[in-house]
Structure 1
Amino acid sequence: MTTSQIDELTALRAENAALRSQLEEIAEEPVAQQQRRRFSFRPLVAVVLVTIGALLAPVAIAATFAAQQATNTDAFVATFSPLSGNAGLQRLVADKTVEAIDQRVNVPQLTGDAFDALAGLNLPPRAQAALQGLRASATAAIEDRIRSTVQDYLASPSFASLWTQLLRTAHSQAVATLTGQGSAAVVLKDDGSVAVQLGPVIAAVKQRLVARGLSFAASIPSVNRTIVVADWNGGSQVRSGYALIVALGAWLPWISLGFLAAGVLVARRRTRALGRAAVALAAASLLLLAAIGIAGVLVVQALSPRLLPSDSVRAIWDGLVAFPTALAVAVTVLAVCVAFVAWFAGSSPSGERVRGGLLRGIGTARDGAERRGITTGRFGLALGRWRVAIRVAVSVIAAAIILFIRPVTPALIIWTLIGALVVIGLSELLSRPAPVPVPVDPVAA
């Protein structure tokens, strides 16, 4: 067979392949049109699931914060202990302290009694007149000394230490009471009654008796007894509310994440659905941040200047919402990173262009290194074979870091994403594609 005949046969084969492909497309066209006409609930279900998951996200953040404050004494103390250094709060405590002292110690009366006693000593008229002039000054000086002493104490580390100790004791006792722990001095029973345990009281009295020299008190045995002091109908509701807060804080974040994941899995184009779910999650987190900001303005208007100066109320509010704000920012950053990954790995034209450009650049660098004798050999071939598995493993590890490491911060999320991209890029650079066998034309052979 001559060369021209071989070329003609090759051309005929190519033409037959093209005609066969056209016939297959014509045959599949009615089926495709029929499939397009058929209504599918999958997109609608995906949208509903993603919407529910995104709407639950702000509630999950708030529930997580509430559960943390309700169950974790260290977190509660860390949130409220800085308030001891707030100037506005110190002024409020100082005013109330001085007011309480004035109610129990009548300084003008005590000063007047002292001056009256001096006046009864038959002093000269000029000394009597001087004493009457000093009466008001002495009263003011004593009151100023009381106030300055209170203010100095409130500004000292001793008050900060006392404040922290009071917060820790109050929270630990409240948690013990609501959870029914045996160490609680006050117990909420299932029937709503409030009972006081005598064991801690007797133990404290026992220690004081021993400290005062009554050594026989050391032989007093431990007492496990409670006495009902009140019958409160709302006790069971408080305990149920506490249990509900703990449950919501533990499960609601996972429920929200489950709805988002289910919406992505139900969708036909999962990569695009992942990107849209991430955008919805970011929007919900931004709405939560906006709500926190608006609530802060309303709280400042409601409490200042009636209770505290506006700057003090703002400082207290900022400290209170620091955790949910940081968590909402972290969720927003995470959602933006996921949306970027979905865009980069998706089928959008812009994403494909960027991805293709990076892959071509990596391939050019790898080919240039191989031309210079730098190659990864069998290790590179193994990386090429396990390329998909490596990407999946890196993605799973990155997701586990973000899900389980606490606290979740924007820096942790961004550096985890950068690390994952670097690992995937290095694996792509070091990998070597398997050699593609060249088909042998039997005619040419």
Structure 2
Amino acid sequence: MSPHAHPGGPGPDRPGGKVPDAGGGVVLGPEEHADYRRLRHAAAVRHRTSRSIGASVLLLVALLLTPPALVAAWVDDTVTDTDRYVRTVAPLAGEPAVQQVVTDRLTARVVAEVDVESVVAALSKSLADAGAPPAVVDRTGALVGPLRGALTNAVHGIVQRVVSSDTFEQAWVGANRRAHAGVVSMLTGDDSRAVRAQGDTVTLDLGTVVDQVKQRLVDQGFEKAAAIPAPDRRITLFRTDELSKAQDAMRLLDVMGAWLPAITLAFAALAVWVAPAHRTMLLVTACGVAVMTVVLLVGLAVVRRVYLDSVPATVLPANAAAVVYDTFVRFLRDSTRTLLVLAVVTALAAYLYGPSRVARGVRSLAGRAAGAGGRALRDAGADTGAAGRWLDGHRPETTGVVLGLGALALLLWNRPTVGAVALVAGLVVLVLVVLAVLASAAGGRTGGPAPRPDAAVP
């Protein structure tokens, strides 16, 4: 029996046996080598499948968290930043619909404090005592309506001048700045601040403004204006049967405002990193985020309609209610639109780096344009030399650095807008074009050929 073989087992003379090599290792036979390759391929497929499933789960979580993360960031930002809160509510003082509500409410209350019937009765008695004909005395009762109308017009004019003046806007801004903690009160149900939540109604206390209006009326001869009671210093901002539920949701969003956006961004980044094809997952993630922002914008429009339908006209006219809602959520809308534009730009960039015919055509066209620019620059005597050759040999690295700096700029930007996204995207494209032209302007290249402009990125 051969010393290298075992009875019934594979040996060096049997198919599929292992043969020691010169270094003491084992050389697999054809069948074992095929089995090894098959097992290795199966393991790679399982690994790729696991990564795809994990990336899909991470992406799903990120997309589901995107709308609440935007809302949470808006709530946290509006509640904790006094200047931001004042900028939110300040435009309401200049809105004609809101001014009309305040004017009508104050006018009605002042006129209600004037007993027109008593004035007419006193006039009737004076006429009777003066010997006026009974027919004249009896007809004095018809003066109640005209007198009340004249009084209403006079008071309305005075109140309207006050409310439409800079004094009202300054008082409005000052009151809201001092009462910034009232937003927190609305979310928590505390009624000790200017903005109060009572039952199903949210009101704003205009004590300072009312005091100024009362003083102006008294100066004009309407002493009864001083009798406006404290409860009439408030105007209704919102009324909804779901206020208590909204308060619970807002409290949770307020707590999560600082962390939920960061968590959502982390899930999205992990999804792209874990996925086997990073570019493809980046494209899918960007498209998904864009869809979720559209869903949030549609949701805001639906909530607006529900809110307007739930506010009775006796509480707040429809036009004033629409102005109040649009003013309060405008920063949330702006943030959502900004993220939508950023997602579209990211998806477009990921697509243009892909293997599609359109993407290859765009890259080829850009490469030819950069080459023509570089040749023109070189012909003009501006040969970039070694620096250009280095740029030419490190195009992927320089492109990644420029894209990373653009993303970092947006991340560090204080509340970026759609214009900010457009500006950063334009600067990134400009820098990439300049680098490509400089790389093409290098003469006497010693490195390898530049990457094909139509090369696909996985």
Fold shared by both chains (TM-score > 0.5):
yes
Higher mean displacement: 380-389 or 401-410: 380-389
Alpha-carbon shift at residue 318 of structure 1 (Å): 1.7
| CA distance, structure 1, for counterparts of residue 319 and residue 145 of structure 2 | 35
| CA distance, structure 1, for counterparts of residue 87 and residue 426 of structure 2 | 31
Match of 1:232 in 2: none
Q: Secondary structure at the match of 1:305?
A: coil
The verdict on how the C-alpha distance between 1:368 and 1:339 changes in structure 2, with shifts beyond 3 A counting, is: same
1:411 aligns with 2:422: no
Alpha-carbon shift at residue 397 of structure 1 (Å): 1.8
The verdict on how the C-alpha distance between 1:98 and 1:364 changes in structure 2, with shifts beyond 3 A counting, is: closer
1:322 aligns with 2:330: yes
Correspondent of 1:307 among 307, 312, 315: 315
Q: Secondary structure at the match of 2:416?
A: coil
| CA distance, structure 1, for counterparts of residue 320 and residue 185 of structure 2 | 32
Letter in 2 for 1:87: P
Match of 2:295 in 1: 287
TM-score, L = length of structure 1: 0.70
Correspondent of 1:34 among 42, 46, 49: 42
Alignment of 1:258-277 (within 5 A): 258-277=266-285
| CA distance, structure 2, for counterparts of residue 380 and residue 113 of structure 1 | 100
| CA distance, structure 1, for counterparts of residue 144 and residue 255 of structure 2 | 64
1:430 aligns with 2:441: no
Alpha-carbon shift at residue 371 of structure 1 (Å): 5.3
| CA distance, structure 2, for counterparts of residue 435 and residue 256 of structure 1 | 46
Kept after mapping to 2: 8 A contact 1:107/1:143: no
Match of 2:87 in 1: 78
Kept after mapping to 1: 8 A contact 2:128/2:134: no
Structure 1 unaligned regions, length at least 5: 1-22, 180-184, 187-237, 439-445
Letter in 2 for 1:137: P
Kept after mapping to 2: 8 A contact 1:366/1:430: yes
The verdict on how the C-alpha distance between 1:112 and 1:352 changes in structure 2, with shifts beyond 3 A counting, is: same
Letter in 2 for 1:362: A
Correspondent of 1:141 among 129, 150, 156: 150
Alignment of 1:233-272 (within 5 A): 244-272=252-280
Correspondent of 2:374 among 343, 349, 366: 366
1:164 aligns with 2:169: no
Kept after mapping to 2: 8 A contact 1:89/1:308: no
| CA distance, structure 2, for counterparts of residue 136 and residue 37 of structure 1 | 89
Kept after mapping to 2: 8 A contact 1:275/1:338: yes
Correspondent of 1:50 among 48, 51, 59: 59
| CA distance, structure 2, for counterparts of residue 419 and residue 401 of structure 1 | 11
Match of 1:443 in 2: none
Alignment of 1:195-206 (within 5 A): none
Identity of aligned residues (%): 25
Alignment of 1:333-372 (within 5 A): 333-367=341-375, 369-370=377-378
Letter in 2 for 1:274: L
Alignment of 1:88-99 (within 5 A): 88-99=97-108
Higher mean displacement: 425-434 or 382-391: 382-391
| CA distance, structure 1, for counterparts of residue 281 and residue 98 of structure 2 | 49
Alpha-carbon shift at residue 382 of structure 1 (Å): 3.7
The verdict on how the C-alpha distance between 1:141 and 1:429 changes in structure 2, with shifts beyond 3 A counting, is: same
| CA distance, structure 1, for counterparts of residue 100 and residue 448 of structure 2 | 84
Alignment of 1:121-132 (within 5 A): 121-122=130-131
| CA distance, structure 2, for counterparts of residue 86 and residue 160 of structure 1 | 10
Match of 1:390 in 2: 398
Letter in 2 for 1:140: G
Kept after mapping to 2: 8 A contact 1:264/1:270: yes
The verdict on how the C-alpha distance between 1:309 and 1:138 changes in structure 2, with shifts beyond 3 A counting, is: closer
Alpha-carbon shift at residue 364 of structure 1 (Å): 4.1
TM-score, L = length of structure 2: 0.68
**C-alpha deviations, 1:277-318, integer Å up to 9, x for none?**
000000100100111111112222222534333333222222
Q: Secondary structure at the match of 1:407?
A: coil
**Two-structure CA RMSD over aligned residues (Å):** 3.6
Higher mean displacement: 368-377 or 45-54: 368-377
Alignment of 1:6-17 (within 5 A): none
**C-alpha deviations, 1:364-423, integer Å up to 9, x for none?**
442455456542223323433554443233222211221121231111112211110110
Alignment of 1:106-121 (within 5 A): 106-117=115-126, 119-121=128-130
The verdict on how the C-alpha distance between 1:242 and 1:71 changes in structure 2, with shifts beyond 3 A counting, is: farther
Alpha-carbon shift at residue 104 of structure 1 (Å): 3.7
| CA distance, structure 2, for counterparts of residue 398 and residue 392 of structure 1 | 10
Kept after mapping to 1: 8 A contact 2:74/2:331: yes
The verdict on how the C-alpha distance between 1:125 and 1:84 changes in structure 2, with shifts beyond 3 A counting, is: same
| CA distance, structure 2, for counterparts of residue 147 and residue 82 of structure 1 | 22
Q: Report the number of matched residues.
A: 358
Kept after mapping to 2: 8 A contact 1:53/1:259: yes
Kept after mapping to 2: 8 A contact 1:119/1:131: no
Letter in 2 for 1:279: C
Alpha-carbon shift at residue 348 of structure 1 (Å): 4.0
**C-alpha deviations, 1:68-127, integer Å up to 9, x for none?**
221122222222222223333333323332343345442332443355345434557787
| CA distance, structure 1, for counterparts of residue 365 and residue 142 of structure 2 | 93
Kept after mapping to 1: 8 A contact 2:99/2:164: yes
**C-alpha deviations, 1:149-205, integer Å up to 9, x for none?**
2233222222222222222222246669999xxxxx98xxxxxxxxxxxxxxxxxxx
The verdict on how the C-alpha distance between 1:426 and 1:32 changes in structure 2, with shifts beyond 3 A counting, is: farther
The verdict on how the C-alpha distance between 1:346 and 1:110 changes in structure 2, with shifts beyond 3 A counting, is: same
| CA distance, structure 2, for counterparts of residue 329 and residue 174 of structure 1 | 24
**C-alpha deviations, 1:203-246, integer Å up to 9, x for none?**
xxxxxxxxxxxxxxxxxxxxxxxxxxxxxxxxxxx999887544
